[in-house]
Structure 1
Amino acid sequence: MKTVLCYGDSLTWGYDAPGPGRHAFEDRWPSVLQDTFGGQVRVIAEGLNGRTTAFDDHVAAEDRNGARVLPTILGTHAPLDLVIIMLGTNDMKPFISGSALGAKQGMRRLVDIVHRHPYFGEAETPDVLIVAPPHISETANPDFAALLTGGVAESRKLAILYADMADETGCGFFDAAQVAKTTPIDGIHMDANNTKALGRALAPIVRVMLGL
Protein backbone atom coordinates (compact mmCIF):
# COMPACT_ATOMS: atom_id res chain seq x y z
CA MET A 1 0.00 0.00 0.00
CA LYS A 2 1.23 3.46 -0.90
CA THR A 3 1.44 6.12 1.82
CA VAL A 4 0.81 9.84 1.28
CA LEU A 5 1.44 12.59 3.84
CA CYS A 6 -0.67 15.76 3.55
CA TYR A 7 1.20 18.57 5.31
CA GLY A 8 -0.76 21.76 5.74
CA ASP A 9 -2.64 24.27 7.85
CA SER A 10 -6.32 24.75 8.74
CA LEU A 11 -7.33 23.98 5.15
CA THR A 12 -5.93 20.48 5.68
CA TRP A 13 -7.16 20.26 9.28
CA GLY A 14 -10.66 20.98 8.00
CA TYR A 15 -11.61 24.30 9.59
CA ASP A 16 -15.31 25.00 9.05
CA ALA A 17 -15.87 28.76 9.10
CA PRO A 18 -19.59 29.00 10.01
CA GLY A 19 -19.08 27.12 13.31
CA PRO A 20 -16.36 27.84 13.75
CA GLY A 21 -15.52 24.18 14.02
CA ARG A 22 -14.23 21.30 11.95
CA HIS A 23 -15.64 19.63 8.87
CA ALA A 24 -16.82 16.06 9.23
CA PHE A 25 -13.95 13.63 8.76
CA GLU A 26 -15.34 12.32 5.48
CA ASP A 27 -15.60 15.84 4.03
CA ARG A 28 -11.98 16.88 4.56
CA TRP A 29 -9.92 16.82 1.39
CA PRO A 30 -7.33 14.24 2.57
CA SER A 31 -10.19 11.86 3.45
CA VAL A 32 -11.84 12.39 0.06
CA LEU A 33 -8.49 11.83 -1.65
CA GLN A 34 -7.99 8.53 0.16
CA ASP A 35 -11.50 7.33 -0.69
CA THR A 36 -10.84 7.74 -4.42
CA PHE A 37 -8.20 4.99 -4.29
CA GLY A 38 -10.37 2.25 -2.84
CA GLY A 39 -7.86 0.96 -0.30
CA GLN A 40 -4.74 1.27 -2.46
CA VAL A 41 -3.45 4.37 -0.69
CA ARG A 42 -3.20 5.43 2.94
CA VAL A 43 -3.47 9.21 3.30
CA ILE A 44 -2.17 10.82 6.50
CA ALA A 45 -3.58 14.27 7.28
CA GLU A 46 -1.13 16.51 9.16
CA GLY A 47 -2.93 19.85 9.32
CA LEU A 48 -2.50 22.51 11.99
CA ASN A 49 -4.42 25.76 12.28
CA GLY A 50 -2.15 28.72 11.61
CA ARG A 51 0.82 26.69 10.33
CA THR A 52 3.27 28.68 8.21
CA THR A 53 5.85 27.43 5.74
CA ALA A 54 8.92 28.37 7.75
CA PHE A 55 8.08 31.33 9.99
CA ASP A 56 7.55 31.63 13.74
CA ASP A 57 4.17 32.60 15.14
CA HIS A 58 4.04 32.68 18.91
CA VAL A 59 0.36 33.55 19.39
CA ALA A 60 -0.70 29.89 19.70
CA ALA A 61 0.12 27.03 22.07
CA GLU A 62 1.38 24.87 19.19
CA ASP A 63 4.55 25.32 17.14
CA ARG A 64 3.28 26.77 13.87
CA ASN A 65 6.67 26.86 12.10
CA GLY A 66 6.26 24.22 9.40
CA ALA A 67 9.98 23.91 8.72
CA ARG A 68 10.81 23.20 12.35
CA VAL A 69 8.13 20.53 12.78
CA LEU A 70 8.40 18.77 9.41
CA PRO A 71 11.50 16.62 10.14
CA THR A 72 9.75 15.07 13.14
CA ILE A 73 6.61 14.42 11.06
CA LEU A 74 8.67 12.77 8.32
CA GLY A 75 10.35 10.52 10.84
CA THR A 76 7.08 9.67 12.55
CA HIS A 77 5.28 8.51 9.41
CA ALA A 78 8.13 7.06 7.32
CA PRO A 79 8.30 5.33 4.95
CA LEU A 80 6.40 7.68 2.69
CA ASP A 81 5.79 7.56 -1.06
CA LEU A 82 4.53 11.11 -1.52
CA VAL A 83 4.39 14.31 0.53
CA ILE A 84 1.72 16.84 -0.43
CA ILE A 85 2.44 20.32 0.94
CA MET A 86 -0.29 22.96 0.88
CA LEU A 87 0.89 25.97 2.88
CA GLY A 88 1.31 29.70 2.36
CA THR A 89 -1.98 31.27 3.38
CA ASN A 90 -0.80 32.08 6.90
CA ASP A 91 2.44 33.49 5.51
CA MET A 92 0.31 36.30 4.07
CA LYS A 93 -0.28 37.74 7.55
CA PRO A 94 1.64 41.05 7.79
CA PHE A 95 3.29 40.04 11.07
CA ILE A 96 4.47 36.71 9.59
CA SER A 97 5.83 37.47 6.11
CA GLY A 98 3.11 39.38 4.32
CA SER A 99 4.27 38.39 0.86
CA ALA A 100 3.99 35.60 -1.67
CA LEU A 101 7.75 35.74 -2.17
CA GLY A 102 8.28 34.96 1.51
CA ALA A 103 5.92 32.01 1.20
CA LYS A 104 7.82 30.76 -1.84
CA GLN A 105 11.10 30.89 0.05
CA GLY A 106 9.50 29.05 2.94
CA MET A 107 8.07 26.41 0.61
CA ARG A 108 11.49 25.88 -0.94
CA ARG A 109 12.86 25.25 2.55
CA LEU A 110 10.19 22.60 3.13
CA VAL A 111 11.02 20.88 -0.15
CA ASP A 112 14.70 20.84 0.80
CA ILE A 113 13.81 19.25 4.14
CA VAL A 114 11.86 16.45 2.44
CA HIS A 115 14.62 15.85 -0.10
CA ARG A 116 17.49 15.88 2.42
CA HIS A 117 15.92 14.10 5.38
CA PRO A 118 17.89 11.01 6.57
CA TYR A 119 15.15 8.44 6.16
CA PHE A 120 15.35 5.29 8.26
CA GLY A 121 16.83 2.13 6.82
CA GLU A 122 16.29 1.60 3.12
CA ALA A 123 13.32 3.95 2.83
CA GLU A 124 13.48 6.02 -0.34
CA THR A 125 13.04 9.77 -0.50
CA PRO A 126 9.37 10.50 -1.19
CA ASP A 127 8.19 12.61 -4.09
CA VAL A 128 6.74 16.04 -3.33
CA LEU A 129 3.55 17.61 -4.65
CA ILE A 130 3.33 21.36 -4.03
CA VAL A 131 -0.22 22.70 -3.86
CA ALA A 132 -0.89 26.43 -4.08
CA PRO A 133 -3.81 27.08 -1.69
CA PRO A 134 -7.05 28.65 -2.90
CA HIS A 135 -6.95 32.43 -3.08
CA ILE A 136 -7.75 34.54 -0.06
CA SER A 137 -11.04 36.29 -0.77
CA GLU A 138 -12.62 39.53 0.38
CA THR A 139 -14.54 39.23 3.64
CA ALA A 140 -16.74 41.45 5.77
CA ASN A 141 -15.36 39.78 8.90
CA PRO A 142 -13.32 42.62 10.45
CA ASP A 143 -10.94 40.41 12.40
CA PHE A 144 -9.98 38.20 9.45
CA ALA A 145 -9.82 41.17 7.08
CA ALA A 146 -7.34 42.91 9.41
CA LEU A 147 -5.42 39.70 10.07
CA LEU A 148 -4.70 39.28 6.37
CA THR A 149 -4.31 42.86 5.19
CA GLY A 150 -2.90 42.73 1.65
CA GLY A 151 -3.36 38.98 1.48
CA VAL A 152 -6.03 38.99 -1.22
CA ALA A 153 -3.60 40.32 -3.82
CA GLU A 154 -0.52 38.47 -2.55
CA SER A 155 -2.26 35.09 -2.45
CA ARG A 156 -2.93 35.34 -6.18
CA LYS A 157 0.80 35.38 -6.84
CA LEU A 158 1.45 32.06 -5.12
CA ALA A 159 0.50 29.73 -7.97
CA ILE A 160 3.01 31.06 -10.51
CA LEU A 161 5.77 31.28 -7.90
CA TYR A 162 5.10 27.75 -6.65
CA ALA A 163 4.81 26.36 -10.19
CA ASP A 164 8.20 27.78 -11.16
CA MET A 165 9.78 26.41 -8.01
CA ALA A 166 8.23 23.00 -8.58
CA ASP A 167 9.90 22.87 -11.99
CA GLU A 168 13.23 23.91 -10.47
CA THR A 169 13.11 21.32 -7.70
CA GLY A 170 11.57 18.37 -9.56
CA CYS A 171 8.27 18.45 -7.68
CA GLY A 172 4.71 18.05 -8.84
CA PHE A 173 2.42 21.07 -8.78
CA PHE A 174 -1.29 21.74 -8.47
CA ASP A 175 -3.19 25.01 -8.20
CA ALA A 176 -6.09 24.55 -5.77
CA ALA A 177 -7.66 27.80 -6.96
CA GLN A 178 -8.57 26.06 -10.21
CA VAL A 179 -11.11 23.88 -8.41
CA ALA A 180 -11.78 25.46 -5.00
CA LYS A 181 -12.72 28.84 -3.55
CA THR A 182 -12.55 30.23 -0.04
CA THR A 183 -15.70 31.35 1.72
CA PRO A 184 -16.44 35.07 2.18
CA ILE A 185 -17.41 34.25 5.77
CA ASP A 186 -13.76 34.68 6.72
CA GLY A 187 -11.90 34.85 3.39
CA ILE A 188 -9.48 31.98 3.94
CA HIS A 189 -11.29 28.70 4.63
CA MET A 190 -13.27 26.35 2.40
CA ASP A 191 -16.81 25.09 2.83
CA ALA A 192 -17.51 21.36 2.66
CA ASN A 193 -18.22 21.34 -1.08
CA ASN A 194 -14.95 23.06 -1.92
CA THR A 195 -12.75 20.95 0.31
CA LYS A 196 -14.32 17.81 -1.17
CA ALA A 197 -13.76 19.18 -4.68
CA LEU A 198 -10.08 19.66 -3.90
CA GLY A 199 -9.71 16.07 -2.71
CA ARG A 200 -11.29 14.75 -5.89
CA ALA A 201 -9.24 17.02 -8.15
CA LEU A 202 -5.94 15.97 -6.59
CA ALA A 203 -6.59 12.28 -7.23
CA PRO A 204 -5.43 12.13 -10.90
CA ILE A 205 -2.05 13.79 -10.29
CA VAL A 206 -1.49 11.76 -7.13
CA ARG A 207 -2.28 8.59 -9.04
CA VAL A 208 0.33 9.46 -11.68
CA MET A 209 2.97 10.40 -9.10
CA LEU A 210 2.40 7.14 -7.23
CA GLY A 211 2.56 5.10 -10.43
CA LEU A 212 -0.90 3.59 -9.96
Structure 2
Amino acid sequence: MFSAHNNHFHINLLPSFGLKLIKFSYFFIALFLLSCGDTKTEKTTENKKAAEQIEDTVATDISTKTILCFGDSITAGYGLDDTDDAYPAVLQEKIDSLGLEYTVINSGVSGETTAGGKSRIDWVIKQNMDIFLLELGANDGLRGVALSETRANLQAIIDIVREKSPETTIVLAGMELPPNMGQDYTKGFRQLYADLAEKNNLAFIPFILKDVGGVAALNQSDGIHPTVEGHKIVANTVWETLRPLLKS
Protein backbone atom coordinates (compact mmCIF):
# COMPACT_ATOMS: atom_id res chain seq x y z
CA MET A 1 0.00 0.00 0.00
CA PHE A 2 1.19 3.49 -0.67
CA SER A 3 0.06 6.71 0.86
CA ALA A 4 0.16 10.43 0.21
CA HIS A 5 1.95 12.33 2.94
CA ASN A 6 3.42 15.81 2.85
CA ASN A 7 2.40 16.05 -0.79
CA HIS A 8 4.51 13.03 -1.81
CA PHE A 9 3.85 9.36 -2.50
CA HIS A 10 5.63 7.03 -0.08
CA ILE A 11 5.89 3.26 0.13
CA ASN A 12 5.39 2.10 3.70
CA LEU A 13 8.47 0.13 4.70
CA LEU A 14 6.74 -3.01 5.89
CA PRO A 15 7.78 -6.66 5.58
CA SER A 16 5.37 -7.07 2.68
CA PHE A 17 7.11 -4.31 0.73
CA GLY A 18 7.75 -6.49 -2.34
CA LEU A 19 4.17 -7.66 -2.72
CA LYS A 20 2.82 -4.20 -2.11
CA LEU A 21 5.15 -2.68 -4.65
CA ILE A 22 3.97 -5.20 -7.24
CA LYS A 23 0.36 -4.28 -6.46
CA PHE A 24 1.36 -0.64 -6.67
CA SER A 25 2.79 -1.20 -10.16
CA TYR A 26 -0.33 -3.09 -11.30
CA PHE A 27 -2.42 -0.20 -9.99
CA PHE A 28 -0.73 2.30 -12.25
CA ILE A 29 -0.56 -0.06 -15.21
CA ALA A 30 -4.35 -0.28 -14.92
CA LEU A 31 -4.54 3.49 -14.70
CA PHE A 32 -2.40 3.84 -17.81
CA LEU A 33 -4.57 1.41 -19.77
CA LEU A 34 -7.75 3.10 -18.62
CA SER A 35 -6.48 6.55 -19.50
CA CYS A 36 -5.48 5.32 -22.95
CA GLY A 37 -8.72 3.43 -23.41
CA ASP A 38 -10.95 6.39 -24.08
CA THR A 39 -12.26 6.11 -27.61
CA LYS A 40 -12.61 9.06 -29.94
CA THR A 41 -16.37 8.83 -29.60
CA GLU A 42 -16.21 8.93 -25.81
CA LYS A 43 -13.88 11.94 -25.87
CA THR A 44 -16.20 13.71 -28.32
CA THR A 45 -19.17 13.04 -26.04
CA GLU A 46 -17.26 14.29 -23.00
CA ASN A 47 -16.28 17.47 -24.83
CA LYS A 48 -19.85 18.03 -25.99
CA LYS A 49 -21.21 17.59 -22.46
CA ALA A 50 -18.60 19.96 -21.06
CA ALA A 51 -19.44 22.52 -23.72
CA GLU A 52 -23.17 22.26 -23.09
CA GLN A 53 -22.68 22.64 -19.34
CA ILE A 54 -20.63 25.80 -19.78
CA GLU A 55 -23.19 27.28 -22.17
CA ASP A 56 -26.11 26.47 -19.87
CA THR A 57 -24.36 27.77 -16.75
CA VAL A 58 -23.18 30.99 -18.33
CA ALA A 59 -26.65 31.59 -19.79
CA THR A 60 -28.46 31.12 -16.49
CA ASP A 61 -25.95 32.61 -14.04
CA ILE A 62 -24.61 35.70 -15.80
CA SER A 63 -25.13 37.75 -12.61
CA THR A 64 -22.54 35.71 -10.69
CA LYS A 65 -18.80 35.41 -10.94
CA THR A 66 -17.48 32.26 -12.56
CA ILE A 67 -14.98 29.62 -11.47
CA LEU A 68 -14.09 27.26 -14.30
CA CYS A 69 -12.46 23.92 -13.43
CA PHE A 70 -10.52 22.80 -16.50
CA GLY A 71 -9.19 19.29 -16.16
CA ASP A 72 -9.31 15.56 -16.78
CA SER A 73 -11.22 12.65 -15.19
CA ILE A 74 -10.50 13.90 -11.67
CA THR A 75 -12.39 17.09 -12.42
CA ALA A 76 -15.01 15.35 -14.57
CA GLY A 77 -15.93 12.99 -11.73
CA TYR A 78 -15.27 9.82 -13.70
CA GLY A 79 -17.08 6.75 -12.36
CA LEU A 80 -19.41 8.57 -9.99
CA ASP A 81 -23.13 7.85 -10.21
CA ASP A 82 -23.78 11.57 -10.11
CA THR A 83 -21.27 14.18 -11.27
CA ASP A 84 -22.79 16.47 -8.65
CA ASP A 85 -20.58 14.49 -6.26
CA ALA A 86 -17.39 15.54 -8.08
CA TYR A 87 -15.19 18.08 -6.33
CA PRO A 88 -16.34 21.09 -8.45
CA ALA A 89 -19.91 20.52 -7.24
CA VAL A 90 -18.69 20.16 -3.65
CA LEU A 91 -16.92 23.50 -4.05
CA GLN A 92 -20.23 24.99 -5.21
CA GLU A 93 -21.89 23.74 -2.03
CA LYS A 94 -19.22 25.41 0.07
CA ILE A 95 -19.61 28.65 -1.85
CA ASP A 96 -23.40 28.61 -1.57
CA SER A 97 -23.24 27.96 2.17
CA LEU A 98 -21.30 31.21 2.56
CA GLY A 99 -23.66 33.16 0.34
CA LEU A 100 -20.93 33.99 -2.15
CA GLU A 101 -22.00 34.80 -5.70
CA TYR A 102 -19.83 32.40 -7.66
CA THR A 103 -20.86 29.70 -10.10
CA VAL A 104 -18.54 26.70 -10.47
CA ILE A 105 -18.37 25.18 -13.96
CA ASN A 106 -17.06 21.66 -14.45
CA SER A 107 -15.06 21.55 -17.68
CA GLY A 108 -13.38 18.21 -17.04
CA VAL A 109 -12.89 15.62 -19.80
CA SER A 110 -11.89 12.07 -18.91
CA GLY A 111 -8.62 10.98 -20.48
CA GLU A 112 -7.61 14.55 -21.26
CA THR A 113 -3.91 15.31 -21.71
CA THR A 114 -2.22 18.70 -21.63
CA ALA A 115 -2.13 18.59 -25.44
CA GLY A 116 -5.88 17.96 -25.49
CA GLY A 117 -6.44 20.81 -23.08
CA LYS A 118 -4.33 23.11 -25.21
CA SER A 119 -6.42 22.21 -28.27
CA ARG A 120 -9.73 23.15 -26.62
CA ILE A 121 -8.73 26.13 -24.50
CA ASP A 122 -9.38 28.62 -27.31
CA TRP A 123 -13.05 27.70 -27.25
CA VAL A 124 -13.36 27.60 -23.48
CA ILE A 125 -11.70 30.97 -23.01
CA LYS A 126 -14.50 32.64 -24.95
CA GLN A 127 -16.53 32.43 -21.74
CA ASN A 128 -16.13 35.02 -19.01
CA MET A 129 -14.13 33.54 -16.14
CA ASP A 130 -13.11 35.12 -12.86
CA ILE A 131 -11.09 32.12 -11.70
CA PHE A 132 -9.57 29.43 -13.91
CA LEU A 133 -8.52 26.21 -12.15
CA LEU A 134 -6.06 24.25 -14.32
CA GLU A 135 -5.91 20.54 -13.43
CA LEU A 136 -4.10 18.62 -16.16
CA GLY A 137 -1.01 16.47 -16.61
CA ALA A 138 -1.68 13.15 -14.89
CA ASN A 139 -2.34 11.38 -18.19
CA ASP A 140 0.82 12.88 -19.64
CA GLY A 141 2.87 11.52 -16.79
CA LEU A 142 1.37 8.04 -16.88
CA ARG A 143 2.06 7.85 -20.60
CA GLY A 144 5.64 9.00 -20.17
CA VAL A 145 5.21 12.17 -22.20
CA ALA A 146 8.39 14.24 -22.23
CA LEU A 147 8.41 16.69 -19.32
CA SER A 148 9.35 19.49 -21.70
CA GLU A 149 6.19 18.83 -23.72
CA THR A 150 3.91 18.77 -20.67
CA ARG A 151 5.49 21.95 -19.38
CA ALA A 152 5.15 23.67 -22.75
CA ASN A 153 1.48 22.69 -23.10
CA LEU A 154 0.60 23.92 -19.61
CA GLN A 155 2.48 27.15 -20.23
CA ALA A 156 0.62 27.60 -23.52
CA ILE A 157 -2.73 27.21 -21.74
CA ILE A 158 -1.67 29.74 -19.11
CA ASP A 159 -0.49 32.16 -21.79
CA ILE A 160 -3.75 31.92 -23.73
CA VAL A 161 -5.82 32.58 -20.61
CA ARG A 162 -3.58 35.51 -19.67
CA GLU A 163 -3.76 36.98 -23.18
CA LYS A 164 -7.48 36.61 -23.80
CA SER A 165 -8.76 37.03 -20.26
CA PRO A 166 -6.17 39.13 -18.38
CA GLU A 167 -8.44 39.75 -15.41
CA THR A 168 -8.88 36.03 -14.73
CA THR A 169 -7.10 34.57 -11.70
CA ILE A 170 -5.38 31.29 -12.55
CA VAL A 171 -5.03 28.47 -10.03
CA LEU A 172 -2.65 25.65 -10.94
CA ALA A 173 -3.31 22.20 -9.47
CA GLY A 174 -0.20 20.05 -9.19
CA MET A 175 -0.04 16.30 -9.66
CA GLU A 176 2.41 13.59 -8.60
CA LEU A 177 3.38 10.23 -10.03
CA PRO A 178 4.24 6.92 -8.35
CA PRO A 179 7.89 5.97 -7.82
CA ASN A 180 7.78 3.17 -10.38
CA MET A 181 7.72 5.81 -13.11
CA GLY A 182 11.37 6.46 -12.31
CA GLN A 183 12.90 8.76 -9.73
CA ASP A 184 14.20 11.38 -12.14
CA TYR A 185 10.95 11.54 -14.09
CA THR A 186 8.68 11.69 -11.02
CA LYS A 187 10.83 14.35 -9.38
CA GLY A 188 10.92 16.41 -12.55
CA PHE A 189 7.18 15.97 -13.05
CA ARG A 190 6.41 17.23 -9.55
CA GLN A 191 8.82 20.13 -9.92
CA LEU A 192 7.46 21.38 -13.23
CA TYR A 193 4.21 22.42 -11.52
CA ALA A 194 6.04 24.32 -8.81
CA ASP A 195 8.22 25.99 -11.43
CA LEU A 196 5.24 27.03 -13.55
CA ALA A 197 3.42 28.41 -10.52
CA GLU A 198 6.45 30.44 -9.48
CA LYS A 199 7.29 31.64 -12.99
CA ASN A 200 3.73 32.80 -13.66
CA ASN A 201 2.94 33.93 -10.12
CA LEU A 202 -0.05 31.60 -9.86
CA ALA A 203 -2.11 30.43 -6.93
CA PHE A 204 -0.85 26.89 -6.43
CA ILE A 205 -2.20 23.57 -5.11
CA PRO A 206 0.93 21.36 -4.83
CA PHE A 207 -0.93 18.04 -5.03
CA ILE A 208 -4.65 17.95 -5.75
CA LEU A 209 -4.96 14.31 -4.59
CA LYS A 210 -3.31 14.94 -1.24
CA ASP A 211 -4.61 12.43 1.35
CA VAL A 212 -6.57 10.61 -1.39
CA GLY A 213 -4.08 9.21 -3.91
CA GLY A 214 -3.27 5.60 -3.06
CA VAL A 215 -5.82 5.34 -0.24
CA ALA A 216 -7.99 2.34 -1.19
CA ALA A 217 -11.00 3.39 0.87
CA LEU A 218 -11.15 6.75 -0.90
CA ASN A 219 -10.91 5.41 -4.43
CA GLN A 220 -13.33 3.48 -6.59
CA SER A 221 -13.01 -0.23 -7.37
CA ASP A 222 -10.58 0.57 -10.18
CA GLY A 223 -8.23 1.85 -7.50
CA ILE A 224 -7.76 5.01 -9.51
CA HIS A 225 -10.56 7.54 -9.33
CA PRO A 226 -11.79 9.10 -6.08
CA THR A 227 -15.04 7.99 -4.49
CA VAL A 228 -17.65 10.45 -3.28
CA GLU A 229 -15.76 10.70 0.01
CA GLY A 230 -12.52 11.08 -1.88
CA HIS A 231 -13.91 13.98 -3.86
CA LYS A 232 -14.92 15.70 -0.63
CA ILE A 233 -11.29 15.59 0.48
CA VAL A 234 -10.12 16.82 -2.92
CA ALA A 235 -12.59 19.71 -2.60
CA ASN A 236 -11.18 20.55 0.84
CA THR A 237 -7.67 20.59 -0.59
CA VAL A 238 -8.73 22.90 -3.41
CA TRP A 239 -10.72 25.06 -1.01
CA GLU A 240 -7.63 25.89 1.05
CA THR A 241 -6.19 27.72 -1.96
CA LEU A 242 -9.44 28.90 -3.53
CA ARG A 243 -11.19 30.45 -0.51
CA PRO A 244 -8.77 33.39 -0.06
CA LEU A 245 -9.35 34.32 -3.70
CA LEU A 246 -13.11 34.70 -3.37
CA LYS A 247 -14.62 38.11 -2.78
CA SER A 248 -17.71 38.59 -0.66
TM over 0.5: yes
**1:102-141 correspondence runs (5 A):** 102-117=149-164, 119=165, 125-133=167-175, 135-136=176-177
Match of 1:198 in 2: 234
TM-score (norm 1): 0.72
Match of 1:168 in 2: 199
Q: Give, in whole Å, the separation in 1 of the partners of 2:108 and 2:204.
A: 19
C-alpha displacement at 1:208, in angstroms? Answer: 1.4
Q: Taking structure 1 as reference, are residues 137 and 27 closer, same or farther at Cα in structure 2, changes over 3 Å only?
A: farther
Q: What CA deviation, in whole Å up to 9, does each residue of 1:79-135 have, x standing for no partner?
A: 2111001100111243xx534443222211111111112x5xxxx5301100013x4
Greater fraction helix: 2
Q: Taking structure 1 as reference, are residues 99 and 179 closer, same or farther at Cα in structure 2, changes over 3 Å only?
A: farther
Match of 2:74 in 1: 11
Match of 1:178 in 2: 210
Q: Give, in whole Å, the separation in 1 of the partners of 2:120 and 2:112.
A: 10
SS at match of 1:79: coil
Q: Give, in whole Å, the separation in 2 of the partners of 1:185 and 1:102.
A: 32
Specify which of 134, 138, 156 is matched with residue 89 of structure 1: 138
Q: Give, in whole Å, the separation in 2 of the partners of 1:72 and 1:44.
A: 15
Q: Give, in whole Å, the separation in 1 of the partners of 2:228 and 2:108.
A: 16
Structure 2's unaligned 5+ residue stretches are 1-63
Match of 1:141 in 2: none
| Amino acid paired to 2:196 | M
Structure 1's unaligned 5+ residue stretches are 17-21, 55-64, 139-148
Q: Give, in whole Å, the separation in 2 of the partners of 1:151 and 1:195.
A: 28
Aligned-residue sequence identity (percent) comes to 26
| Amino acid paired to 1:71 | D
Residue pair 2:91, 2:104 contacting (<8 A) in 1 also? yes
C-alpha displacement at 1:176, in angstroms? Answer: 1.4
